[in-house]
A and B are shown apart, each in its own frame.
Chain A
Amino acid sequence: MKSILPIFRCLNSLERNVEKCKIFTSSDLCKVVIQFFCRHGIRRTHNVCFQESQPLQVIFEKNMCSNMLIIQPRVLAEAVVLFTSSQEEVTLAVTPLSVCLKSSSDEPMDLTSSVYSEMFVGPDEFDFFQIGADTEITFCFKELKGMLTFSEATHAPIAIHFDFPGKPMALSIDDMLLEANFILATLADEPSRASSPPSLCLSQKQKRSDLMCSTNNNSKTGKNATSKAPGCILRKAAPKRLYPNETQTDIPALENCGSPIMKRVNEDISEVPESSVSNTEEGPGSSYLRQFSCVFFGAVSSDQRQHFNYPFDSLATASDSEEDMNNGSSSTF
Chain B
Amino acid sequence: MKFRAKIVDAACLNHFTRVSATIAKLAKTCTLRISPQKLNFIVSDKAASGGVSMWCELEQENFFSEFQMEGVSAENNAIYLELLSENLSRALKTAQNARALKIKLTNKHFPCLTVSIELLSVSSSSRIVTHDIPVKVIPRKLWKDLQEPTVPVSDVSIYLPVLKTMKSIVEKMKNISNHLIIEANLSGELNLKIETELVCVTTHFKDLGNPQSASEDASQDRDPEQMAEVHIDIRKLLQFLAGQQVNPTKAVCNIVRNKIIHFDLLHEDVSLQYFIPAFS
Task: Name A residues whose Cβ lies closer than 8 Å to a Cβ of B.
Answer: 81-82, 84, 108-125
Contacts and interface: CB of A to CB of B under 8 A. Distances in A.
B278 to A, nearest CB: 32
Contacts of B91: 115, 117
B110 A109 contact: yes
A122 B136 contact: no
A302 B176 CA distance: 60
Contacts of B87: 114-115
B45 interface: no
Contacts of A110: 110, 134
A108 B111 CA distance: 12
18 contacts: A82-B129, A109-B109, A109-B134, A111-B84, A112-B84, A112-B134, A113-B134, A115-B131, A115-B132, A117-B94, A117-B129, A117-B131, A119-B129, A120-B129, A122-B123, A124-B125, A125-B125, A125-B127
B111 to A, nearest CB: 9
Contacts of A119: 127-130
Interface string B116-129: 00000111111111
Contacts of B112: 109, 116
A112 to B, nearest CB: 7
Interface of B: 82-84, 87, 90-91, 94, 109-110, 112, 121-136
B3 to A, nearest CB: 18
Does more than half of chain A's interface fall in helix, strand or loop, or is it mixed? loop
A116 B131 CA distance: 6
B132 A81 contact: no
Contacts of A111: 82-84, 134-136
Contacts, number: 67
Contact of A84 (B90, B110, B125, B126): B90
B133 A120 contact: no
Contact of A82 (B124, B125, B131): B131
Nearest to A114: B87
A110 B82 CA distance: 12
A118 B130 contact: yes
Contacts of B123: 122, 124-125
Nearest to B83: A111
A81 B94 contact: yes
The 8 nearest A-B residue pairs measured at CB: A122-B125, A109-B110, A116-B132, A120-B128, A119-B129, A124-B123, A117-B131, A111-B136
Contacts of B94: 81-82, 117
Contacts of A123: 125
A57 B123 CA distance: 38
Contact of B121 (A81, A116, A118, A125): A125
Contacts of B122: 125
A104 B134 CA distance: 15
B132 A108 contact: no
Given A117-B91, A125-B121, 20 more contacts: A82-B129, A108-B110, A109-B109, A109-B110, A109-B134, A110-B134, A111-B82, A111-B84, A112-B84, A116-B132, A117-B94, A117-B132, A118-B129, A119-B128, A119-B130, A120-B128, A122-B123, A122-B126, A124-B125, A125-B127
A126 B227 CA distance: 67
